[in-house]
Amino acid sequence: MIDSAYLIRNYRSGDLESCVGLWLLEGQDQTGHCISPLMVKMLMEKLGFSMEETVLVAEKDGDIVGCLNMVPEMGVKRAVIYCVVHQHYRRHGIATLLFDKATRWLIDMGVALAHVEILKSNAVASSLLSKAEFKPVHQHIHMQQIIDVKPTEIVSPDIVIRHLAQNEETVLTDLQNLAFAQHWGYNPNTVGEITYHLKQGNGSYQNVILACIDNKPVGYCWTTPEPRTNLATGKKCGSILMLGVDPDYQNKGIGRAVLIAGMSSLFDRGIEVVEITADSVNEKAISLYKAVGFKQQAVSQCYEKDLT
């Protein structure tokens, strides 16, 4: 039963601390990754959209008890939804109210598909999504590695490892779009979007490591902009956000070389645990990650709803 005492409204400028606090109470995002205030804020901020447009909150007696964040990807007419409800207010219909309002806004925006990704083990969220007519469509494998010593690798002399330069936004955009063109759910990025993400939060071009052959960037590893402390273990976590190789240069050890370089960079920034995600059907990536020491931690399920 849905309690009418809850007010569902758009985000206001003074809501940031309360919304971030809801996610931090969880200690992780919807797929089990360690989070921080900066990471939550970065996800809520989008190029071309204001938080007042794309973030909804559920309020009761002046307190924010639920938050839904929409990330529109208008190039493919899709939006990714993230939702959290305070643990003391769950099973009150709050998520349903938030999803209903979000769906109406997305339809008005011309969005054709809505995606939500949750841990496969989250039976409550799975049931809610099924009732909201979301269907399971894909899975991701989430992996983790503890790094007690700095990772090193003997790299072929043909491969040069270096950081992204500040005039190489187009290079990274082209390489990323080329590397992920055939991957499920990938939304091609523009140079403007890549530049925006590079500069978000504590972002730095140093967070992106390139692998080059004959001065040509053919692989990259994009690492997290800051450490996040796992509340359960006290260890500092970091992520490999994206790792890609030009299809014409695969099977040459480039992926492994740039992955190790990314992990080494994270270690230098005080990271003790590295997280990485692979498409469940990408056997090459999963084999690579296992070969350098990553272990599976969880599986997430992607759900999709047709809004047309």
Helix, strand or coil, per DSSP, at residue 221: strand
DSSP annotation of 252: S
Averages of pLDDT over runs of 10 residues in the chain (308 residues) are 78 95 89 89 94 97 96 94 95 94 96 97 94 96 96 91 96 97 91 94 89 97 88 88 96 96 96 96 96 96 97
188-215 pLDDT per residue, tens: 999 999 999 999 877 789 999 999 999 9
Give the residue carrying structure tokens 């900066």: 38
Neighbours of 30 (CB within 10 A): 18
pTM check: above 0.85: yes
Distance CA 207, CA 272 (A): 16
Every domain of the chain and the residues it spans: 7-140, 149-271
> In CATH, what number does 7-140 get?
3.40.630.30
What residues contact 163, with CB distance under 8 A and at least 6 apart? 205, 206, 208, 209, 210
By CB neighbour count within 10 A (0-12 exposed, 13-18 middle, 19+ buried), where does 155 fall? Answer: middle
Amino acid 3: pLDDT: 54
Amino acid 1: pLDDT: 45
Amino acid 34: pLDDT: 86
Topology match between the domains 7-140 and 149-271: yes
Class of domain 149-271 (CATH, top level)? alpha beta
User: 263-286 b/e with 16+ CB inside 10 Å = b?
Assistant: bbbbbeeebbbbbbbbbbeeeebb
